[in-house]
Amino acid sequence: MNAPHDPSSAGAVLAQKAHFDAPLKLRGGAELAAYDIAYETYGELNAARSNAVLVCHALNASHHVAGFYEDNKSNVGWWDNLVGPGKPLDTRRFFVVGSNYLGSCFGTTGPASINPASGRPWGADFPIVTVEDWVEAQARLADRLGIERFAAVIGGSLGAMQALQWTLSYPERVHHALVIAAAAKLSPQNIAFNEVARQAIMTDPDFHGGHYYDKGVVPTRGLRIARMIGHITYLSGEAMAEKFGRLLRRKHLGFDFDIDFEIESYLRYQGDKFSTYFDANTYLRITKALDYYDPAGDFGGNLSAALARARAQFLVVSFKSDWRFPPSRSREIVRALLDNRRIVSYLEIDAPGGHDAFLLEDPRYHSALRAYFANIDL
C-alpha cells in the first residue's frame, strides 16, 4: 500500500456512477430495465481515445482499483501495486477504468438495490448474472465513456474470465487481453467448493431465502464459512506452511475448541471480516457466474472453436502454486489460442502465493506486465 503522498499512487480518486435506462437482457432470460454501474478512472483518455485499459475485478473486489479516497485514505484500491503513475500499468500513459460488476454490493445495481417493481430490495429476486452479462454492461459503460476500443482488458481469476470474454463478445473492441490466473471453465472440484459455500449461506437461518434485508439480520454465519473455504483455495499449501506451519496461538495445545493453531486464527479473522462487509446474495451470484462460465460449452467443449472469433493479442499468466486454477488450465487457453494462430505470450511464474499471487507484487510478474504494457502501441 502506498502512503497518500507517494508519487506512484493514483492519488485521491472519486467513485463515479453511470445510470443506464436501456434495458439489459441477461443470458438467463431476465431483463434489467435500468441499472447503475459504479466505476473509477485513473489517468486521462488521450485525444485518439486509444489508451483505455479496462480492469476487471474478481470475487470480492470492486471498481476501486487504485488510489485512495480523500475521506478514507487507508482505503487503497485492490490493485494499487499495479496501477499508478510509473507503475506497471502506468496511468501517465494509460486511461484506466475500474468497473464494478452487476450484482455487486459495492455500488453497481445488485441484490441489495431497490427493485423498481416492488419498491423493496431485490433480494432473492435479483437475477443470476453471468460473465457475458458483465461484459455487456461494461461495453455500455465503455460507450458512455467514449471508448470504442480498449488498448487492453486485464483481469485475474474471475476478472480473467471477463477479459477472455471481452475478446469473444467484442473481438474488435479489444486490442490486448491480459488473462491472469485463469481457467476457461471451472473444474468439478472448483464447483464443489462453490457449492459448499452456497449451502453454508443458504442454510443459515438468517438467510430467509435471500430476503433478509428487511429482517434486520444477515447470514453472517454462512458468509463466514463461505469465506473461510474460499480462502483455503486462494492460498497455496506451501504458502500456508511457510506462513503458519503448525505455530500455536497459545503456548501449548489447549485440549478445547478455542484457537490452537495460528492458521485457525487467521481463517476465523478472514471469515469474520468478510462477513461484516460482503453481501450474501452477491456472493451466491458470483459463485454461479464462475460455475456457469464455459465459452466452449456452445462448441461441444471445443475451446479452440470457441476462441476462433477472438482477434486480440494475449498475455496469459499463471502461477505454479495456484491449485485453484493451476497452470494446466492456463495452458488450455494458450493452446486453443495458438490453434487459432493468435499472438499469445505465456508466462508461468514459480511464485508461492497460490491463486492470490495475481494480486501480489512478485518482481518477475510485475516486470513482465510492465514490459507488456510498455509495448502496447496506442
Which of the residues are catalytic?
157, 322, 355
Residues 216-235 within binding reach of its own copies (CB under 8 A): 221, 224-225, 228-229, 231-232, 235
* Contact between 294 and its own copies per CB under 8 A: yes
* Contact between 196 and its own copies per CB under 8 A: yes
CB 329 within 8 A of CB 157: no
Judged by CB under 8 A, the number of residues near its own copies is 55
DSSP state of 17: E
Distance CA 157, CA 355 (A): 8
* Contact between 333 and its own copies per CB under 8 A: no
Q: Residue 353 burial (CB < 10 Å; 0-12/13-18/19+)? A: buried
* Contact between 298 and its own copies per CB under 8 A: no
* Contact between 249 and its own copies per CB under 8 A: no
CB 105 within 8 A of CB 279: yes
Neighbours of 98 (CB within 10 A): 27
Neighbours of 230 (CB within 10 A): 22
Secondary structure percentages of the chain, helix, strand, coil, to 5: 40, 20, 40
Least distance in angstroms from the C-beta of 293 to its own copies = 11
Applying CB under 8 A, among 170, 193, 274, 346 the residue interacting with its own copies is 193
* Contact between 291 and its own copies per CB under 8 A: yes
- Alpha-carbon torsion 13, 19, 25, 26, what sign? positive
Least distance in angstroms from the C-beta of 276 to its own copies = 15
CB 8 within 8 A of CB 2: yes
User: Which range of residues in 9-17, 147-155, 289-297, 305-313 is near its own copies by CB under 8 A?
Assistant: 289-297
Counted residue by residue, the chain has a size of 378
* Contact between 237 and its own copies per CB under 8 A: yes
CB of 319 or CB of 373, closer to its own copies: 319
Site residues (vs its own copies, CB under 8 A): 27-30, 127-128, 185-189, 191-193, 195-196, 198-200, 202-205, 221, 224-225, 228-229, 231-232, 235, 237, 240-241, 243-246, 253, 255-257, 260-261, 263-264, 267-268, 271, 284, 288, 291-292, 294, 323
